Structure 1
């Protein structure tokens, strides 16, 4: 992992905390939340105030996420909104934290000027005992205040002012007036500088969770589904289609019926030839390293040379991706590739809309040799696999990501997946045709046949 950190591929874009004032505020907040403090003279924090250095110091990388508890956070500055969220076991956590900061930025800016803001993200579910309990996760609430309770004190003064204004005898209530004056010393002038955090509720119709071996829950589409990475955890849930990642034909059919994926080769604004060529490079490099073949500097010319020596060991994905690459460059007949082809999921990306990022995360699990997409869309899975890779593959992947992603992250994301979805895309029609026209299989037949893919009707037997 040290190599990833040195190349800004792990713990990157964190906020540096090195002033005595900030460290003092952080310790005050940490003491209130956990009863512990740090002695580090310098550390870095993510969007929610988690520090990997403090986690290492305390011997607890979940010190802000106690087992069985809610995700707690510490805000020292509104600039934390640009930082990543580390150790996120729920895909929407960073979006919720970023939304909370940006929608309450003026209030939080004033609060963090004098104190640290602490709080928690509440899923309102007491316990998750079975995957069926995930259906209870529908929204997240954020509660926050400073360590000095400025928000609560301001609310208390606000209620007093309202009482003073509405009561007929308020002007003659000396006790109330005295209490208001004393409260104002604590909270300041809440009329000129009101303290109210208003945007604290966030819907979460669709998400990925690390619980139960990894589960995708998708509700904002025509055919809601739960998709399990671990087949042993899969259960039937009323009102949801149950899918598993080891049943690619069913997953492909569901994506097509709900118009959630589109072929890269026909995606608007995508340089399909370049994207497909890079995917082939990743696959060839993985195969060469597994076969013990020297890839030299890992350049494209070296990989082509190595591929010519693989013979029967050439990865099965290469044939289909090569056909697509030739079509993207030269045209001709549309390559016929169905969900039984190893190249199928490598050739897709999520369609624009609120489910786009979640679908790209799902596709990364279905096409794990595309290490760039895996790193961008599913970091927990990437880091888990990274620990199992041989040294040669780790070195190759880090060099590629540092050279072709880290220097222009936003540009790379837009080139691969398109522009970021806008707020107007939050609503989804109840029925949509797939990226290749209306689905060619009836819903009742989906479990028995492979879907009609973007390159023609699927062939082969049943799933």
Structure 2
């Protein structure tokens, strides 16, 4: 994985913890949550406060996520919201933590100036021993406080202030006044600077989880379903085997969740197809042991010509679509039975965009750039198993074609619209399970 780290494709953007004060605050929070401490004096943490260096020291990469269901968090700074989330178990966790930081930025800024904030993402379940348990997850609440309990004490002080204001005899209650003064020494003036967190419930209708082989839950759509690598019995919701491409395509089409990644002829369309075609070729040639030593475009084209028999069927289908986009060939018919089908699709705009793109990346993992962008856990798992030559090519191509302009590449692939110039295709009688990229 060192190649990825060197190119900023892994562990990039982590928050650095190097000052003695921050290290001590982190240790107080870590001990508060788990009873453990780190002896490191310099490490990095992600959005949730997880540190790969500390995990390695403790020989426990789940030290902030025991059971993988209710993730614990350590916040040392509001700047952590710019960091990625590592060791992800639920696709919604990063959004929930960032929303919590944004909603409570002023309070967190004050509190983290002198202490760490520790807490937990509390699911509506506490463990998932069976896959059916995942369907019981309906909401997540963030529960957080400083290691010294300032938020808790502020709530107590607020209650005492209310009692003091409402009780006409409170002026003579020495015990009440002493309690208020004692709490105010740590909380400050809660009437002018409230120390409370907005902790709304975050709905969990749609999410991906790595548990039980990995599955996707879609409950907010017109036709709800679970897409699972290991299907199980579930009542009240359709179960779809994620490897059944026709069934998955039918589900997406029925719910209006897909759109073609290319919608017309032109250089923009051709560029997307050409890049995808090359990524598939690199993946196939790498696993077959035919990649050239130099990560060079010309060398790649020569290897594709020399070892054409090692290229998958999807490369030929994308090649036909590329020829059409460049005005060199006829319109190809690609439906969900074609291995190239999910390489030609992207999620339709909407709240489920990222989750749908995650499914598409899993169904078309040979496009390693899309996999890295949309499904990092699966990308890292596949990368670890790659031959060394393929690892070199993948790291170099990602550094060149993605890391240099992440926002631009994302817009190019998943947001930018290509002017439509659609061919007239007769579609009557197409079964829904065999829809093409244009429906």
- The bucket for the TM-score relative to the shorter chain is over 0.9
Query: Which residue of structure 2 lines up, in the alignment, with residue 342 of structure 1?
Result: 339
- 1:215-255 superposed Cα distances (whole Å, 9 cap, x missing partner): 000112111110012xxx31232232211122111111111
What is the TM-score with the length of structure 2 in the denominator? 0.93
Counting matched residue pairs gives 431
Equivalents in 1 of 2:80, 2:410: separation in Å?
21
Deviation at 1:193, TM superposition (A): 1.1
What is the TM-score with the length of structure 1 in the denominator? 0.88
Equivalents in 1 of 2:337, 2:294: separation in Å?
33
Q: Do the aligned residues in 2 keep the contact of 1:280 with 1:321 (CA within 8 Å)? A: yes
1:5-84, aligned counterparts within 5 Å?
Answer: 5-67=5-67, 70-84=70-84
Query: Which residue of structure 2 lines up, in the alignment, with residue 451 of structure 1?
Result: 434
Q: Do the aligned residues in 2 keep the contact of 1:441 with 1:452 (CA within 8 Å)? A: no
* Structure 1 unmatched ranges of 5 or more: 420-435, 457-463
Q: Do the aligned residues in 2 keep the contact of 1:364 with 1:377 (CA within 8 Å)? A: yes
Q: Which moved more, 1:113-122 or 1:163-172?
A: 163-172
Secondary structure at the residue paired with 1:265?
coil
Q: Do the aligned residues in 2 keep the contact of 1:89 with 1:211 (CA within 8 Å)? A: yes
Q: Given the alignment of the two structures, is residue 406 of structure 1 paired with residue 389 of structure 2, yes or no? A: no
1:43-442, aligned counterparts within 5 Å?
Answer: 43-67=43-67, 70-229=70-229, 233-266=230-263, 271-330=268-327, 333-418=330-415
What's the C-alpha RMSD, in Å, of the aligned pairs?
Answer: 2.3
Q: Do the aligned residues in 1 keep the contact of 2:266 with 2:325 (CA within 8 Å)? A: no
Relative distance call for 1:267 and 1:54 in structure 2 (3 A) is farther
Q: Do the aligned residues in 2 keep the contact of 1:215 with 1:227 (CA within 8 Å)? A: yes
Query: Which residue of structure 2 lines up, in the alignment, with residue 432 of structure 1?
Result: none
Deviation at 1:179, TM superposition (A): 2.0
Q: Which runs of 4+ in 1 moved over 6 A?
A: 267-270, 439-442
Equivalents in 2 of 1:455, 1:157: separation in Å?
61
* Structure 2 unmatched ranges of 5 or more: 417-423
Query: Which residue of structure 2 lines up, in the alignment, with residue 423 of structure 1?
Result: none
Query: Which residue of structure 2 lines up, in the alignment, with residue 429 of structure 1?
Result: none
Q: Do the aligned residues in 2 keep the contact of 1:288 with 1:295 (CA within 8 Å)? A: no
Secondary structure at the residue paired with 1:183?
helix
Secondary structure at the residue paired with 2:135?
helix
- 1:273-306 superposed Cα distances (whole Å, 9 cap, x missing partner): 1111111101111222233324353333322222
